[in-house]
């Protein structure tokens, strides 16, 4: 089973730079939509960088690092994985200070270190400033990889310190292969193919049906105060509703263009971005969307 789906070209370029190259960037910024494998490629790149057997992906070092992607934690002393802590709204300054302290200690194996910061756009201002200081004076032999779906939410000072690596959506064939292997219901597979991402691969079919029904109710009456409490309990459910609503709007705009529809579409895209990059409650964002529609 492949560790990463797609992105063969990106992976090969990373291998050449991190394994075969005499010089390498101290910090990389992986950019692309959610659910396409950026985090896994970041972990893979870390294995390339730390492996003492030419990026074999089979030695004990590589296996421990690759397992980190499954566990969501660091399983190698010279590899660190930082992400949004459970129950928190942002990546904290304490996390970035701990990362800096770790980065400046002597490697325990192989002489190198690698760190991945997942959803880097969720760093608060203080955390971003703390990381910037580390990127400005990176320890020798250390690689930092920042992963984000919202690069515009990162300070320009951090972006300018990184070499950007852009990721494209997954192809229809790549999505279908994963969905068939995991025996994903047809409706979910269609949804994943449509967006070129596996973001909603674990969503139950009944949840999709409920979201589609909410979209229909919304389209009949945009001022509707949705009755279902389920939509407010999980970010993924709210995003699913927004995505299906945008899909419906796209379909309508192909048939007839109107200023009101375009304005709703623009505000909808704005709200989708705010869901992932702000501390505002989901209900407040929906109320904001209604306000803009009115």
Residue 112 CB contacts under 8 Å (≥ 6 apart), including other chains: 49, 50, 78, 141, 142, 143
Domain count, the chain: 3
Task: Show the domain range for 146.
Answer: 8-166
Q: CA-CA distance, 6 to 54, in Å (whole number)? A: 22
pLDDT digit of tens for each residue in the chain (294 aa)?
478 888 999 999 999 999 987 788 999 999 998 899 999 999 999 999 999 898 899 999 999 999 887 777 778 999 999 998 888 888 999 999 999 999 999 999 888 999 999 999 999 999 999 999 999 999 999 999 999 988 888 999 999 999 999 999 999 999 999 999 989 888 888 888 988 889 888 888 888 888 888 888 877 776 555 545 555 556 677 778 887 887 787 777 777 777 777 777 777 777 776 665 555 566 677 666 666 554
Write out the E strands in the chain: 27-31, 79-82, 113-117, 142-148, 163-166
- Tokens (6 digits) for 160: 């300018």
Q: Are 122 and 87 in contact (CB under 8 A)?
A: no
In a shared domain, residues 209 and 159: no
In a shared domain, residues 208 and 78: no
In a shared domain, residues 126 and 177: no
Each residue's pLDDT tens digit, 19-58: 987 788 999 999 998 899 999 999 999 999 999 898 899 9
In a shared domain, residues 189 and 227: no
In a shared domain, residues 76 and 212: no
Q: Is residue 2 part of a domain?
A: no
**Radius of gyration for the chain, computed over Cα atoms and rounded to the nearest angstrom:** 21
- The CATH number of the domain where 70 resides is what? 3.40.50.300
In a shared domain, residues 148 and 241: no
């Amino acid at each position: 089973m492949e560790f990463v789906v797609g992105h063969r070209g990106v992976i090969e370029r990373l291998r050449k730079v991190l394994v075969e190259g005499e010089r390498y960037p101290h910090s990389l910024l992986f950019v692309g939509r959610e659910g396409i494998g950026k985090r896994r490629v970041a972990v893979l790149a870390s294995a390339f960088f730390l492996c003492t057997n030419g990026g074999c992906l089979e030695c004990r070092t590589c296996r421990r690092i690759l397992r980190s992607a499954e566990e969501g934690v660091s399983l190698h002393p010279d590899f660190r994985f930082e992400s949004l802590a459970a129950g928190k709204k942002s990546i904290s300054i304490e996390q970035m200070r701990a990362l800096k302290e770790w980065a400046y200690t002597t490697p325990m194996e192989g002489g190198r270190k690698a760190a991945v910061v997942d959803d880097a756009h969720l760093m608060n201002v203080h955390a971003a400033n703390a990381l910037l200081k580390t990127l400005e004076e990176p320890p020798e032999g250390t690689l930092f990889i920042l992963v984000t779906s919202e690069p515009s939410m990162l300070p320009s000072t951090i972006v300018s310190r990184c070499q950007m690596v852009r990721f494209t959506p997954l192809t229809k064939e790549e999505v279908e292969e994963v969905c068939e292997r995991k025996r994903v219901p047809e409706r979910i597979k269609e949804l994943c193919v449509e967006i070129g991402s596996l973001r909603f691969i674990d969503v139950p079919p009944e949840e999709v049906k409920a979201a589609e029904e909410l979209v229909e109710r919304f389209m009949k009456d945009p001022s509707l105060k949705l009755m279902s409490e389920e939509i407010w309990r999980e970010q993924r459910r709210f995003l699913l509703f927004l995505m299906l609503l945008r899909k419906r709007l796209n379909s309508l705009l192909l048939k007839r263009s109107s200023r009101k529809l375009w304005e709703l579409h623009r505000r909808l895209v704005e709200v989708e971005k705010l869901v992932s990059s702000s501390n505002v409650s989901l209900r407040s964002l929906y109320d904001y969307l209604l306000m803009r529609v009115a």
